[in-house]
């Protein structure tokens, strides 16, 4: 590989619209990709080393150098991020013992979305590195994460999917998802990043409470995917939140942060952080002002943010 033959890998992020937590115990979830992508560029580098840079908006978030023989960190600007990369790369080599066995490399991972937004930057990284190494992204994810793999699968295919872990094996298929009211929906950032790994661990302590409602979550997912009525859509999201509230023994995000909002708000992914989906009863412009006036300045158009697909 010479300077003119750099390798480039790219995949989109995602949002988990339905099935958060429930997907871990077999429910069907709806996962939809976002317009924001993550790119990984590979170039020749110093022998026996991998020098890694992660950046967003021309700002470096990680600069690290790894020893190729075992991917131990030689130097880094962020020990936590570097430790995850060591874990990821070591498990890649478990799956492909020939991975980076000679030479030297430089890797530059460029995030298209802010790393605090929770659009699946770790899943995108997993997919890009797996493709670089020629291994299965879902198999790699299983070795490094306690998550369901839904985010990885969505980033792999770049399309809305129904995802479940049937018999503990990933099971997913592409679905059409482009509701006619998409331009009336908003994505609101909670101003805080949620640690999905610790959230999953906490949920698994209560997973027995899900047994009787798994099928109901799956049915909600199917109806959310196909409905063309915004009021039906909002009602399904509200029902989803109410069911999870009972299981998690936590108040909903609408109760804790957005009491009085004219419409329905649903958490996307781990409760307590990242983005929420808002279905306003008022114009989106007025709803945006409602959020901004309460200190939530990152309000995105659902229609412009998501990669939506009509029936083929």
Please tell me whether residues 102 and 206 are part of one structural domain: no
From 51-60, 149-158, 201-210, 288-297, the region with the lowest mean pLDDT: 201-210
Average pLDDT over residues 149-153: 97
CATH code for the domain of 41 = 3.30.230.10
Query: Of 136, 152, 174, at which residue does a domain stop?
Result: 174
Same domain, 46 and 138: yes
Residue by residue, DSSP assigns 51-62 as EEEEEETTEEEE
Asked if residue 159 and residue 193 are part of one domain, the reply reads: no
The answer to the question of residue 50 being in a domain is: yes
Are 17 and 166 within one domain? yes
Task: For residues 154 and 223, state if they share a domain.
Answer: no
Q: Residue 155 belongs to what domain range? A: 3-174
Give burial (CB, 10 Å; 0-12/13-18/19+) of 267.
Answer: buried
Q: 174, 209, 231: which is the final residue of a domain? A: 174
Judge whether 71 and 144 are in contact, CB under 8 Å: no
Compute the distance between CA of residue 12 and CA of residue 154 in angstroms, rounded to an integer. 8
Asked whether residue 57 falls in the same domain as residue 145, the answer is yes
DSSP label at 199?
H
Task: Give dist(CA 226, CA 200) in Å, integer.
Answer: 28
Element (H, E) at 165: strand 161-166
> How far, in Å, CA of 269 to CA of 81, rounded?
21
Of 120 and 131, the one with more pLDDT: 131
In tens, the pLDDT along 224-247 reads 999 999 999 999 999 999 999 988
Residue whose C-alpha is closest to residue 233's, from 190, 266, 187: 266
- Give strand ranges (E) for 5-82: 7-18, 29-44, 49-56, 59-67, 73-76
Domain harbouring 189, CATH code: 3.30.70.890
Domain's final residue, options 153, 174, 195: 174
pLDDT digits (tens, 9 = 90+) for 2-21: 456 799 999 999 999 999 98
Q: What is the pLDDT of residues 37-77, one digit of tens each?
A: 999 999 999 999 999 999 999 999 999 999 999 999 999 99
Same domain, 22 and 144: yes
Q: How many domains does the chain have?
A: 2
**Residue 146: predicted pLDDT:** 85
* Complete edge-to-edge strand list for the sheet that includes strand 275-280: 263-267, 275-280, 186-189, 299-301
Domain match, 161 and 251 both: no
The reply to whether 312 falls in a domain is: no
């Amino acid at each position: 590989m010479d300077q003119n033959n750099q390798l480039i890998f790219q995949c989109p992020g995602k949002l988990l619209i339905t099935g958060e937590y429930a997907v871990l115990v077999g429910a069907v979830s709806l996962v939809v990709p976002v317009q924001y992508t993550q790119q990984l560029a590979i170039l020749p580098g110093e022998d026996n080393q991998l020098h890694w840079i992660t950046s967003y908006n021309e700002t470096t978030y990680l600069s690290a150098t790894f020893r190729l023989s075992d991917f131990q960190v030689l130097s880094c600007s962020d020990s936590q991020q570097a430790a995850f990369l060591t874990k990821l790369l070591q498990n890649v080599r478990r799956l492909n013992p020939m991975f980076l066995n000679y030479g030297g490399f430089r890797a530059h991972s460029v995030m298209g979305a802010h790393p605090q937004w929770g659009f699946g930057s770790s899943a995108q990284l997993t997919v890009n590195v797996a493709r670089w190494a020629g291994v299965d992204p879902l198999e790699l994810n299983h070795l490094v994460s306690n998550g369901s793999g839904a985010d990885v699968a969505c980033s792999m295919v770049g399309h809305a999917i129904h995802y479940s872990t049937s018999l503990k094996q990933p099971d997913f298929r592409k679905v059409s998802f482009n509701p006619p009211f998409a331009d009336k929906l908003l994505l609101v950032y909670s101003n805080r990043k949620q640690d999905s790994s610790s959230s999953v661990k906490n949920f698994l302590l209560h997973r027995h409470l899900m047994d009787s409602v798994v099928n109901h979550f799956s049915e909600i997912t199917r109806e959310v995917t196909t409905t063309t009525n915004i009021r039906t859509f909002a009602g399904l999201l509200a029902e989803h939140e109410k069911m999870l509230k009972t299981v998690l023994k936590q108040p909903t995000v609408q109760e804790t942060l957005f009491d009085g909002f004219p419409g329905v708000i649903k958490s996307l992914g781990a409760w307590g952080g990242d983005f929420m989906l808002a279905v306003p009863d008022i114009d989106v412009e007025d709803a945006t002002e409602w959020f901004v006036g309460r200190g939530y300045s990152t309000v995105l158009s659902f229609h412009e943010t998501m990669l939506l697909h009509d029936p083929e």
